[in-house]
C-alpha cells in the first residue's frame, strides 16, 4: 500500500471530482483489473497527466514506477513517494526498480508503469522497453493493458485545450502458455503486451472518430466497481534480465 493511504485516497477523491468537472474524461473497462491479488497495469504515456488518468479510474491503489528525476523535483519529489511511487532510472537496466516491483507484486499490490520508457506527446505510440516482459514472467502477475487517447492534446505548448480524454482498459494479456524467463521469452511477452495496448489505443481513436460502437453497460465504467483504497478486500543485465523498462 502507499505509505500514506489516507493521502492517496484524498488525492484520488479530489482528482476524481476535478475530472467530473472537466466533463470529457471517459474511462472504459477499469473493472477488468482483478479485485485482489498482484497485477501489473501497463499503459502508453502521451501526457504528464497520465498517472492521474489511471489513478482515478482504478479504485485499487496503484504503485507507479516513475522516472527517478521526478523524485528530485521539490514538492513533487516529496509527495509522490507518499502516494506509493518508486523510482526507475530511464535508459538503463534498473535492477533495484525491478526488485522493488517484484516485492510489491509478491505482497499482492498493483504496479503501474509506462513501458515506452518516456513521455511522448507527439500523438504516437513508441516501442515498449523489454523489462515489462521480464517483470511479467518473474512475477506471474496478470498484466492488464490500458490505452490513453486525447491527453496529449490538453496542452500544445502555448494553450490549454479541452479534448476528450479516453482510457480504454482491456482484459489481462493472454501469454499463450509461454514458459521461461530468458531473453526470447521476455521479448515475446513484451510484444504481446505492446500489441494489446496498441489495439486498445486504436479502439479509443476509432471511438473519437465515431467509427466504433459505444461500449455496452458491461464495459462502460465511468467510475469503477472496485473497493476504494483502504477498504477490506473481502467486502541490459545477465540472461533473463531486462534491457530496461
Q: Is residue 80 domain-resident?
A: yes
Give residue 184's domain range: 5-208
Residue 21: give its domain's CATH number.
3.40.1130.10
What's the start-to-end Cα distance of the chain, in Å? Answer: 22
Cα distance between residue 242 and residue 245, in whole Å: 7
The tens digit of pLDDT for each residue in 64-97 reads 999 999 999 889 999 999 999 999 988 777 889 9
Give a yes or no: residue 109 inside a domain: yes
Q: Is residue 227 part of a domain?
A: no
Residue 9 maps to a domain: yes
Instruction: Give the model's pLDDT for residue 52.
Output: 92
Query: How many separate domains does the chain show?
Result: 1
CA distances 120 to 5, 33, 64, 71, Å, are: 30, 25, 18, 20
| pLDDT given at position 160 | 64
Strand ranges, E, within 69-216? 86-88, 110-113, 143-149, 165-169
What does pTM read for this prediction?
0.81
In this prediction, residue 142 carries a pLDDT of: 96
**Does a structural domain hold residue 233?**
no
Distance in angstroms (rounded) separating the CA atoms of residues 195 and 175: 12
- Tell me whether residue 232 is in a domain: no
Amino acid at each position: 500500500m502507499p505509505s500514506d493511504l489516507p493521502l492517496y485516497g484524498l488525492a484520488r477523491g479530489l482528482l476524481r471530482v476535478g475530472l467530473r468537472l472537466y466533463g470529457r474524461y471517459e474511462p472504459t473497462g477499469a473493472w477488468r483489473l482483478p479485485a485482489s491479488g498482484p497485477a501489473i497495469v501497463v499503459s502508453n504515456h502521451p501526457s504528464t497527466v497520465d498517472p492521474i488518468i489511471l489513478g482515478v479510474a482504478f479504485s485499487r491503489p496503484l504503485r507507479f514506477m516513475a522516472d527517478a528525476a521526478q523524485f528530485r523535483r521539490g514538492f513533487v519529489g516529496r509527495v509522490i513517494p507518499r502516494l506509493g511511487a518508486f523510482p526507475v532510472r530511464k535508459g538503463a537496466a534498473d535492477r533495484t526498480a525491478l526488485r522493488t516491483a517484484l516485492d510489491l507484486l509478491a505482497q499482492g499490490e498493483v504496479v503501474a508503469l509506462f513501458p515506452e520508457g518516456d513521455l511522448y506527446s507527439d500523438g504516437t505510440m513508441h516501442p515498449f522497453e523489454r523489462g515489462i516482459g521480464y517483470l511479467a514472467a518473474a512475477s506471474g502477475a496478470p498484466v492488464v493493458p490500458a490505452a490513453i487517447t486525447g491527453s496529449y492534446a490538453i496542452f500544445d505548448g502555448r494553450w490549454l485545450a479541452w479534448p476528450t480524454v479516453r482510457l480504454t482498459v482491456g482484459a489481462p494479456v493472454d501469454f499463450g502458455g509461454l514458459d521461461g524467463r530468458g531473453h526470447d521469452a521476455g521479448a515475446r511477452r513484451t510484444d504481446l503486451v505492446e500489441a494489446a495496448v496498441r489495439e486498445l489505443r486504436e479502439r479509443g481513436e476509432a471511438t473519437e472518430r465515431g467509427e466504433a460502437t459505444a461500449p455496452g453497460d458491461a464495459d462502460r465504467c465511468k467510475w469503477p466497481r472496485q473497493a476504494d483504497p483502504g477498504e477490506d478486500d473481502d467486502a541490459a543485465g545477465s540472461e533473463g534480465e531486462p534491457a530496461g523498462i
